[in-house]
Structure 1
Amino acid sequence: MRYSSQVKPISYLKANAAEVLSHLSDQREPLIITQNGEAKAVLQDIASFEETQETLALLKILALGNQDVAAGKIKPVADVVARLRAKKASN
């Protein structure tokens, strides 16, 4: 995705806030806001934001899992399944 077409100055955002929000929701593309010619912020629709947060959470879980594997904190799956079955049977 090219972001160059999605760059607007803050004055555009101020003058067209409702249109910008509608466009964000419809197109689901982020909008880069500049101030004095420098990129200062990125706006995105809430659905895209939530998806990004969920993706980051999953990536963090994977990274933590990789750290556990590297540290040797692993157990054979058969042992884990046996423990879960024993726990379920006792309930």
Structure 2
Amino acid sequence: MRYSTQVKPISYLKANAAEVLLNLAEKREPLVITQNGEAKAVIQDVASFEQTQETLALLKLLALGTRDMEAGRTKPARAVVERLRAKASDR
């Protein structure tokens, strides 16, 4: 996606807020808002924002897992499963 096609001045946003919101929901592409010719903000629909946040959370988990592996903080899967089964049977 090329953000250069999705750049509007803040005055456009002020004058066309309802239309901008409809376009965000339909196209699901972020919109760059400029002020005095300089990019100042990016707006996007809520569904895309939530998806981005979920993706970032998964990437963070992967990075933490990779860090744990590199540091040798791992356990065999069999040992983990056995421990979980033992806890479940205690209940």
Shared fold (TM-score greater than 0.5)? yes
**Structure 2 residues not aligned, in runs of 5+:** none
Q: Note the alpha carbon deviations across 1:66-86, whole angstroms, 9 max, x for none.
A: 111111110001111111111
Q: What do you get for the CA RMSD once the two structures are aligned?
A: 0.8
Moved over 3 A (4+): none
Matched, 1:30 2:12: no
Task: Give the structure-1-normalised TM-score.
Answer: 0.95
Matched residue, 2:81: 81
d(CA) in 1 for partners of 2:77 and 2:44? 41
| Number of residue pairs the alignment of both structures matches | 91
The one-letter amino acid paired with 1:78 is R
d(CA) in 1 for partners of 2:18 and 2:90? 58
Mapping of residues 12-91 of structure 1, within 5 Å: 12-91=12-91
d(CA) in 1 for partners of 2:32 and 2:51? 19
d(CA) in 1 for partners of 2:73 and 2:48? 35
d(CA) in 2 for partners of 1:50 and 1:11? 27
**Identity rate, percent:** 73
Task: Give the structure-2-normalised TM-score.
Answer: 0.95
Deviation of the 1:87 alpha carbon: 1.3
